[in-house]
Amino acid sequence: MITIRKRLALDTTDEGMSLIEVVVALMIFMVISVGVAYSSVTILRMTEDIRSRQVASNLATSELDHARATADPFEIVNGTYTTVVSGTTYTIARSTSWVETSGADVACGSGTGTLQAKRVNVTVTWNGMLNTTQPVRSDTLISPDTRINDPALGTIRISVLNVAGTGSAGVAVTVTPTTTGAALATPPDPTDTDGCSFALKVTPGTYKVAISRADSVDTLQVANPFQTVTVTAGGSVASQFQYDYAGKFNLTYANNVAGATPKLPENLDTSYVSTYGVYVDSGRKSQVALHPVPSGYTGIAGRYIAPSQSGAGCVSVDPAAWPQATVNGTALAAGVRTAPVAAAPQGQVGMGIPMGVVNVKFTGAAYLTAVSATAPSSAADPGCATPMTYTFGQVLTNGTVAVALPYGSWTLYSSSTASGTKTPITNSNLGIVGTILGALLGGNVITLDPRLAR
């Protein structure tokens, strides 16, 4: 009887849930709640994205309607702009291309076929796009009201790109007949924001296409470059330029030699080396305007002439042309150029141009002339097979004057007048200045060496 009562007492006892059971229940509830919350957020984002996509589609359609309403397809150019709708920022990007008879899309600077229509593509993106959401894209073809290419006439398509590869706007374009052809009834407009201009209804023949804009040059440093093109009946021809606002370089000659500024030749040449090659500028200047090559230019005093099959050129002015060698018992490292210097379009930057400097002793007023000379093989001078002559004018002194010259070997002459008899200046009246290496060689030859001792 006592045992039965104990069992009944145990069955009616309410001890509740354990702590572990409570924690497990809370974790299950939390997981379910997080899932529900994430699903709710995802549904809201998808709903918002769908709404944004509908707005983007309307914006793309509106942009195409605007393009179709433009009477002149040449006025429809590439462009990007933003607009805000209900707190969301949309980016509308418009790209254009011409369509040839072959169906190929071409830019204004490429292709040779007849232009039939203009393709306009619109892409719309917006802030907060889902990773899986694609931009809204739409395009159309616009056919001009009148033929672009008359069966008996042709078209010239001019493309002007800047150093960044995008269009140079506002560049004046002239098209004039050369040996054949006829003057245009309507001159082409300046380039648009895509860097494009068009000469329409051009009589078949040969034409000179020239461009110009203040403070601008092409890769050959030409301010008003031109090309010659041939126009055929019913066809189109492209004329493409790279042209940009020049960068300006403030020049400091013989910046590698401390002390007073030496006298420079009146007719000094300066060579500018870039990825586009070598440009030689004649005449001493304090500033030069060059095409704004992003990788920059290295300035070299003197006229650099690259070796070719027709001649050895003139390379001694280039420090990088001097090889590693031992001269007069001194081990010399190979010569190196100074680091390139870059100037942005319409920007300014300083450029140092190293030179050799020589002290010349005079007993009175005289005219000084330097003529490139052949050095003996022991000097390891890479040489200048095309002789250079630099004049300093009248040196009014009765003492020592420092003069700067390009690297290489030289013979210096004095004369009483500019056109008078030139007399070699003896070695005893010459001396190399600063850390520039060199040697006074036999026959009144002095070598200015850019290399440093190893």
153-188 tens-digit pLDDT: 888 999 999 999 999 999 999 999 998 999 998 899
Residue 352 and residue 359 in contact, taking contact as beta carbons nearer than 8 Å: no
Cα distance between residue 398 and residue 237, in whole Å: 66
HEC secondary structure over the chain: CHHHHHHHHHHCCCCCCCHHHHHHHHHHHHHHHHHHHHHHHHHHHHHHHHHHHHHHHHHHHHHHHHHHCCCCHHHCCCEEEEEEECCEEEEEEEEEEEEECCCCEECCCCCCCCEEEEEEEEEEEECCCCCCCCCEEEEEEECCCCCCCCCCCEEEEEEEECCCCCECCCCEEEEEECCCCCCCCCCCCCCCCCCEEEEEEECCEEEEEEEECCCEEECCCCCCCEEEEEECCCCEEEEEEEEEECEEEEEEECCCCCCCCCECCCCCEEEEEECCEEEEEECCCCEEEECCCCCCEEEEECCCECCECCECCECCCCHHHCCCEEECCEEECCCCCCCCECCCCCCEEEEEECCEEEEEECCCCEEEEEEECCCCHHHCCCCECCCCEEEEEEECCCCEEEEEECCEEEEEEEECCCCCCCEECCHHHEEECCCCEEEEECCCEEEEECCCEC
Asked if 275 and 236 sit in the same domain, the reply is no
* Exposure of 414 in the CB half-sphere (CA atoms within 13 A): 17
**Residue 378 pLDDT level (bands cut at 50, 70, 90):** confident
Contact assessment for residue 439 and residue 408, using Cβ atoms and an 8 Å cutoff? no
Residues 394 and 283 in one domain: yes
Same-domain status, 256 and 361: yes
Residues 383-393: tens digit of each pLDDT: 898 889 999 99
- From 244, 278, 306, the end of a domain falls on 244
pTM tops 0.85, yes or no: no
| 73 and 139 together in one domain | yes
The reply to whether 195 and 218 lie within a common domain is: yes
Q: What's the gap between Cα 10 and its chain centre?
A: 93
Inside any domain, residue 44: no
Tell me how far the alpha carbon of residue 72 is from its chain's centroid. Answer: 33
- Contact between 198 and 156 (Cβ < 8 Å): yes
Q: Which two tokens stand for residue 101?
A: 């008879």
Identify which of 97, 103, 139, 101 has the alpha carbon closest to the alpha carbon of residue 118.
97
The model's pLDDT over 294-305, given as tens digits with 9 standing for 90+, comes to 999 999 999 999
Task: Choose the final residue of a domain: 244, 262, 286.
Answer: 244
Which of the four pLDDT bands, split at 50, 70 and 90, describes residue 104? confident
Residues 164 and 197 grouped into a single domain: yes
Percent pLDDT > 90 in the chain is 45
Instruction: Flag whether pLDDT at 10 surpasses 60.
Output: no
352 lies in a domain?
Answer: yes
In the chain, the percentage of residues whose pLDDT exceeds 70 is: 89
Asked if residue 141 belongs to a domain, the reply is yes
Mean pLDDT comparison of 73-87, 139-153, 278-292, 305-319, highest-scoring range: 278-292
Q: What is the four-CA torsion angle of 115, 120, 121, 124, rounded to 10 degrees?
A: 160
Q: Is the pLDDT of residue 13 over 60?
A: no
Verify that 76 and 225 share a domain, yes or no: yes
Residue 82 corresponds to which tokens in the numbers above? 């933003």
Claim to verify: residue 193 and residue 257 sit in the same structural domain: no
Count the Cβ atoms, other than its own, within 10 Å of residue 283. 10
Burial status of residue 15 (CB atoms within 10 A of its CB: 0-12, 13-18, 19 or more): exposed
- At which of 244, 277, 301 does a domain end? 244
pLDDT (0 to 100) of residue 429: 84
Same domain, 168 and 293: no
- CA gap 196, 269 in Å, rounded: 37
Give which of 205, 202, 98, 187 is closest to 154, Cα–Cα.
202
Is 414 domain-assigned?
Answer: yes
CA dihedral 63→69→70→71, nearest 10 degrees, is 160
Q: Can you tell me the mean pLDDT for 271-289?
A: 94
- Say if 222 falls within a structural domain: yes
Using the Cα atoms of residue 382, residue 384, residue 390 and residue 396 in order, give the sign of their dihedral: positive
What is the domain count for the chain? 2
Cα distance between residue 249 and residue 349, in whole Å: 5
The whole-angstrom distance between residue 97's C-alpha and the CA centroid of its chain comes to: 24
pLDDT score recorded for residue 362: 84
Domain span including residue 389: 248-449
**Is 411 inside a domain boundary?**
yes
Q: What is the pLDDT of residue 452?
A: 83
Query: Are residue 311 and residue 425 in the same domain, yes or no?
Result: yes
Tell me: do 303 and 172 sit in the same domain: no
Rounded to an integer, what distance in angstroms lies between the CA atom of residue 229 and that of residue 179? 11
- Residue pair 60/92 in contact by the 8 Å Cβ criterion: yes
CA atoms within 13 A on the CB side of 449: 29
Start-to-end CA span in the chain (Å): 115
Asked if residue 17 is part of any domain, the answer here is: no
Within-domain flag for 22: no
CA distance 204 to 285: 45
Q: Quick one: 206 and 271 in the same domain?
A: no
